[in-house]
């Protein structure tokens, strides 16, 4: 019997894992600069949390969740997205009472969605997301958008664009909803069964349909922008002005509605415009969710956040052929000749490592030439050679690989030189 990695998942091998570490590192640094703190929530939650928070008519809840009964007969679901768990935690831990408001959180965690596998779409993927909860100031929307863009910029991406829309407040959405129903009802039998369902439950979702996206009625659908009331319009204008102040350019897309039910006002996506990126070009999606806390039993707590997967970030880097900086080359490779030298070499190796120096040696009793080859392959900056003579004199031969120079030094000198 042969076992394989489950469909839609991947093993991240050492040739790739360093990229993940770099990406996570630059994300954490950016969050620190913007003063967002990490939150870690469980990998599974009560199913009902997602049903309520994300919404029954969304793709996520209606067909993508990994739901199972635990041994106590409770329905649990592997986390498909990060906002609902974070807001659940916000309510449960009464973060609305914290002195420091709004509460600014981020996470880097695996998400699970039962999707058809394709490039950039996995069943387990890692999402970096932020949530700023407790403020309805358009400035925090601008901050969150700036943070997301900053991550891509720091990673070295150039071919990206910000796409923006406003979904308005409840009143605006109800007016728009009525217009949508009137627009789609006469031709609803030309749409997929999901859309037919959505017409009654949540017609806005039709605009986000991946099956019927080319239907002519999609292009002529009433635009949300025309249904924004004064307050919603003012909010959107304020956000756009702040983005301009921050030097952030954007494109408007009145059909951008996002996959989740709980969004209002600001909705945005960051897309890759790189040649050859493939069919899926959205790198990051986010928006404002002012009613979500109440929806799951908490007090009013307006919030905004986004989610982006590391998978798509790395794909975009590949598409733009931007290499992530890799400064992980070895500092020292310890080459030894003979039994006694091997023991001394092991001793030197441990001393180097204790001093925080990246060092390694041969464990296959290879000849000197093969050991030197390993040092080369590992791009070691230095090589120490230890033979019988060196053991007797308590020294090592130190080679600087870039300069091709060699000198005899004691172990203490060796450490000083390399740390130098
Ligand atoms: P899509 O339209 O691509 O299905 P979505 O609306 O389901 O996206 P969100 O739930 O908003 O996406 O998730 C935010 C981000 O998470 C996406 O922009 C993308 O970077 C990433 N993402 C979503 N689903 C996957 C997946 N299956 N594999 C990898 N990354 C994903
Ligand atoms: Mg999706």
Our mutation pick for probing the ligand 1 site, out of 278, 285, 288, 308, counting the most ligand atoms within 8 A of Cβ, is 285
Q: How far is CA 291 from CA 156, 200, 365, 374, in A?
A: 36, 21, 66, 59
- Probe ligand 1: pick from 9, 118, 125, max atoms within 8 Å of CB? 125
Which residues does residue 162 pair with via DSSP β-bridges, in sequence order?
A: 270
Q: What is the largest CA-CA distance in the chain?
A: 94
Q: How far apart are CA 310 and CA 328, in angstroms?
A: 20
Ligand 1 centroid to residue 188 C-alpha, Å: 27
Q: Residue 268 is inside which H or E element, if any?
A: strand 264-272
> Which residue owns the Cα nearest ligand 1 atom 29?
121
For each successive 10 residues of the chain (420 residues), what is the average pLDDT?
Answer: 94 95 97 98 98 89 96 98 98 98 98 92 98 98 98 96 94 90 93 90 85 90 91 97 98 82 88 84 95 94 97 95 85 96 96 96 96 95 96 96 95 92
Is the separation of the CB atoms in 390 and 344 below 8 Å?
yes
Q: Can you give the pLDDT at residue 200? A: 87
Tell the residue nearest (CA) to atom 15 of ligand 1. Answer: 308
H/E element holding 373? helix 368-377
**C-beta of residue 386 within 8 angstroms of C-beta of residue 341:** yes
Distance CA 414, CA 420 (A): 10
Ligand 1 closest atom vs CA 306:
14
For residue 153, the number of C-alpha atoms closer than 13 Å in the C-beta half-sphere is 11
Q: What are phi and psi of 61, to 5 degrees?
A: -75, -40
Based on the number of CB atoms within 10 Å of its own CB, is 187 exposed (0-12), middle (13-18) or buried (19 or more)?
A: exposed
How close is the Cα of 259 to the center of ligand 2, in Å?
A: 7
Kindly list the protein residues whose Cβ atom lies closer than 6 A to any atom of ligand 1.
81, 113, 115, 120-122, 125, 127, 259, 280, 282-285, 307-309, 311-312
pLDDT at 259: 60
State pLDDT tens for residues 330-348: 999 999 999 999 999 999 9
What's the CA gap between 315 and 303, in Å, rounded? 29
Mutation probe of ligand 1 site: the residue of 10, 204, 307 with most atoms within 8 A of C-beta:
307
Contacts by 380-383 with C-beta closer than 8 Å and gap 24+? 380/329, 380/330, 380/331, 380/332, 380/333, 381/329, 381/330, 381/331, 381/332, 382/331, 382/332, 382/333, 382/418, 383/332, 383/333, 383/334, 383/335
pLDDT score, position 103? 98
Ligand 1 atom with the smallest distance to the CA of 121 is: 28
């Amino acid at each position: 019997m042969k076992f394989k990695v489950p469909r839609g998942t991947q093993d991240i091998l050492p040739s790739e894992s360093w990229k993940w570490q770099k990406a996570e590192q630059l994300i954490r640094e950016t969050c620190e600069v913007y003063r967002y703190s990490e939150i870690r929530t469980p990998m599974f939650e009560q199913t009902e949390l997602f049903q309520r928070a994300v919404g029954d008519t969304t793709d996520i809840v209606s067909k993508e969740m990994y739901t199972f009964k635990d041994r106590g007969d409770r329905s649990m679901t592997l986390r498909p997205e990060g906002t609902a768990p974070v807001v659940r935690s916000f309510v449960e831990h009464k973060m609305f009472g914290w002195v420091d408001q709004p509460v600014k959180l981020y996470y880097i965690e695996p998400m699970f969605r039962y999707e058809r596998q394709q490039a950039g779409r996995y069943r387990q993927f890692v999402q970096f997301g932020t949530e700023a909860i407790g403020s309805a100031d358009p400035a925090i929307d601008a901050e969150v958008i700036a943070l997301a863009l900053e991550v891509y910029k720091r990673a070295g991406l150039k071919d990206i664009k910000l796409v923006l829309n406003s979904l308005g407040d409840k009143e605006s959405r109800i007016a728009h909803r009525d217009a949508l129903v009137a627009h789609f009802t006469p031709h609803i039998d030309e749409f997929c069964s999901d859309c037919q369902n959505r017409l009654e439950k949540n017609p806005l979702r039709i605009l986000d349909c991946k099956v019927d996206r080319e239907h002519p009625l999609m292009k002529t659908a009433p635009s949300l922008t025309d249904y924004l009331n004064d307050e919603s319009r003012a909010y959107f204008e304020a956000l756009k002005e702040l983005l301009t102040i921050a030097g952030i350019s954007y494109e408007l897309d009145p059909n951008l509605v996002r996959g989740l039910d709980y969004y209002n006002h600001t909705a945005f996506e960051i897309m890759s415009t790189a040649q050859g990126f493939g069919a899926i070009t959205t790198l990051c999606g986010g928006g404002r969710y002012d009613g979500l806390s109440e929806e799951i039993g908490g007090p009013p707590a307006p919030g905004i956040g986004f989610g982006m997967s590391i998978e798509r970030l790395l794909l975009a880097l590949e598409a733009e052929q931007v290499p992530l900086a890799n400064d992980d080359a070895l500092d020292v490779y310890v080459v030894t000749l003979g039994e006694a030298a091997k023991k001394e070499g092991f001793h030197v190796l441990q001393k180097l490592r204790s001093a925080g120096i990246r060092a390694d040696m041969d464990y296959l009793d290879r000849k000197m030439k093969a050991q030197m080859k390993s040092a080369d392959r590992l791009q070691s900056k230095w090589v120490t050679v230890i033979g019988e003579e060196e053991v007797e004199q308590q020294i090592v031969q130190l080679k600087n690989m870039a300069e091709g120079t060699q000198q005899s030094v004691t172990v203490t000198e060796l450490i000083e030189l390399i740390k130098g």
